Chain A
Amino acid sequence: MTKLLKNLGEAIEKCNLRDGMTISFHHHLRNGDFVLNMVLFEVAKKGIKDITVAASSIFPIHEPLVNYMKQGIVTKVIANYISGPVAEAISKGYLQKPAVMMTHGGRPRAIENGELHIDIAFIAAPTCDDYGNMNGVYGRAACGSLGYAVSDAQFADYVVAVTDNLVPYPACPIEINQTCVDYVVVEDSIGDPSGIVSGTTKITKDPVGLKIAKIAAQVIEASGLIKQDVSFQTGAGGTALAVAAEIKRIMKEQDIVGSFASGGITGYISEMLKEGIFKNIFDVQCFDLEAIESYRENPKHQGMSSSMYANPDNKGCVVDKLDVVVLGATEIDLDFNVNVTTGSNGMIMGGSGGHSDTAAGAKLAVVVTNLIKARIPVIRDRVTTITTPGKSIDVLVTERGVAVNPKRQDLYEKLKAYGIEIKDISELKEIAEKITGKPKTIDFSDKVVAIVEYRDGTVIDKVKKIN
């Protein structure tokens, strides 16, 4: 018995794809993904239109999607993160229906409770057998954890595994198993390894970034959360990793072993597991080859689905157990609302990803950022788009000072006692504007091009079309 089909065209037929349906993809192959483009090519060839693409994230490599949008083949996009030409096209109003921007926790929530109904899930599988068992740890397009694909696999009407590495049955270790999979298609290549592995997994050398990291680590230490069994998550950027390095130093000095590190995992965090700084890792996606290897070899490097990671509606997600998370920000306002969705020109350039999920779950959410980025102040009267509500953000750390959310009087006292100088966020804003001047307001039209959903499904903001 086999589930193998000749090609994607046959899969689309067998799954009965019709106008108006929703197809889904995961983003573990990041900017090296070929699968989304290949599937849409076949969809277009068959003359099917009005499709909703629910991809967990969209990258510059998905540029062909822009033309499909303009032609009405794709009329709606649902994603947790959108960057590159597709983001620009959506901002300029080329998508017929408003895009929906969800979070890493909100997407599986919506899939699992039926709000987001997926007709066909196309799952890029770096390794797969002819019955649909798949993993991401072997193969040319190895990507590690397949956490973002799990809810799709479990709840979609049809599931098609797309692989370039068909192996004899069974394809152990199995991350997504045969009981969810309808068909398997083999292609020459499902992705470009150089685009799969992220470029941002080195600690920053920039002295300002290093200073921010040092202050952030002091803030975290002052909070009292660095003690035995602490849990920690940080982003993959240069400054975020510098914070991890400082935390590692503090934990080593005080002989502290953490219970887990979580999130998107880099080689740096994997090293910390090897060195015994943390006992476990919860991995929803691997950012580089070291992380993939650690995930493959070390049983304490545990994968997690995006639902287990951050779905607020299941029986308990990992972010609920998180002590400290270090986050970035494109903008932050006087109420501590954070924007990581739109850039300073109003264009979509990202999205929550796990930002609002981790901020909501963690005991301490620390935003680290330069006060001024490319001559534009990061602190605004009001963010262009709310990605994460201010109530979940506790501290802002910039190179010119630390601001504490007024709702966290307890934290304020702890930081003061430690000797950390705290400024009002409005004072930091003034310091920035003294250097840069007040930024111009962006000229938006009234047309809504994207709806921003919070992790619980409520609409927390809308993105308008750029004029």
Chain B
Amino acid sequence: MSNFRRTMLFMPGDNPGMLQSAPILGADSVILDLEDAVSLTEKDSARILVTEAIKFLDYSGVELVVRINPLDTEFSLLDIDNISRVKPDALMIPKASIDDISEVDRKLTRIEEEQGFYIGTIKLIPIIETAFGLEKVYEIIMTSKRVEAVLLGGEDLTSDFEINRTKTGEEIFYARCRISAACRAAGVDAIDTPFTDINDMEGLIKDTLKAKSLGYKGKAVINPRQIDSIHKVFTPDSREIKYALRVLEARDEALGKGIGVFSMDGKMVDAPVISRAVRIIELAKLFNIIK
């Protein structure tokens, strides 16, 4: 399991070839999808396929997430029951509500006890894609300690609002901000909605930069081609790293002289700037850009 979720790649749960190649396509997380990618008549075979794939294939290099069917469908119970026993890293819950998270948390605890797993092993990632979910997002997160991240589901959300979904995303601006703030308050990762035009790399980068600027830690991916561009956005580049190193150097120098606040390049450098620099260097080390 990786420590970061810059990219979360959706893979259809009914496609054996894709289940096999999912872990090597470069994404930080893979989401094996039992919901939208799978037709109603194939739900059971997809569930079996994903269960077997998790048992049999090596997903150790990625975070392994399974998107189950919504809790108001006939499929979700069997999804939870079967998939949790093969211990994915997390379950992704569509159209999540407080009751949904509560119920899944209880079920997972029971199954973990039965199976002898460490309680709390299987995490939860609710998808906020309804107006009600958006309104209650902080409470949804706080319902269970298992919640480690939240995904914004832009397509379904705009559908619930009966508004158009656009590339530039003004219509989801409020939702993005609200979810980001709630996640930050709760100490979990905010993951942005996928960019659906797989041929528009420039648009993808713009969209990802917007999400990053609002505090998102990563983005959902619907085609492996998108992975590299998104990683570039969420990975500190050499310019940022150089600047951060200079800030920390200047801080050490100032500390030595007993000065708390100082200036660099004509700009004031205080605690928030220093924390940001520390964070960038941490990330740079995590991604093996610097030692």
Contacts and interface: CB of A to CB of B under 8 A. Distances in A.
Interface string A301-337: 0000000000000000000000000000000000000
B20 A211 contact: no
Contacts of B25: 207-208, 211
A399 interface: yes
Contact of B224 (A207, A419, A431, A434): A207
B286 interface: no
A281 B183 CA distance: 57
B24 A211 contact: yes
A435 B224 contact: no
Interface in A400-450: 400, 419, 431, 434-435
B18 to A, nearest CB: 9
Interface of A is mostly: helix
Contacts of A211: 24-26, 224
A203 to B, nearest CB: 12
Contacts, number: 24
A208 B21 contact: yes
A419 B288 CA distance: 10
B20 A207 contact: no
Contacts of B224: 207, 210-211
Given A399-B21, A399-B24, A207 B57 contact: no
Interface in A190-243: 207-208, 210-211
Nearest to B26: A211
Contact of B24 (A208, A419, A434): A208
B106 interface: no
Interface in B74-111: none
B225 interface: yes
By Cβ-Cβ distance, the 10 closest A-B pairs, closest first, are A207-B224, A208-B21, A399-B24, A207-B25, A400-B24, A211-B25, A211-B24, A435-B57, A211-B26, A435-B20
Given A207-B225, A372-B20, A435-B56, 16 more contacts: A207-B21, A207-B25, A207-B223, A208-B24, A208-B25, A210-B224, A210-B225, A211-B26, A399-B21, A399-B24, A400-B24, A419-B288, A431-B58, A434-B58, A435-B20, A435-B57
Interface of A: 207-208, 210-211, 372, 399-400, 419, 431, 434-435
11 contacts: A207-B21, A207-B223, A207-B225, A208-B24, A211-B26, A211-B224, A399-B21, A431-B58, A434-B58, A435-B20, A435-B56
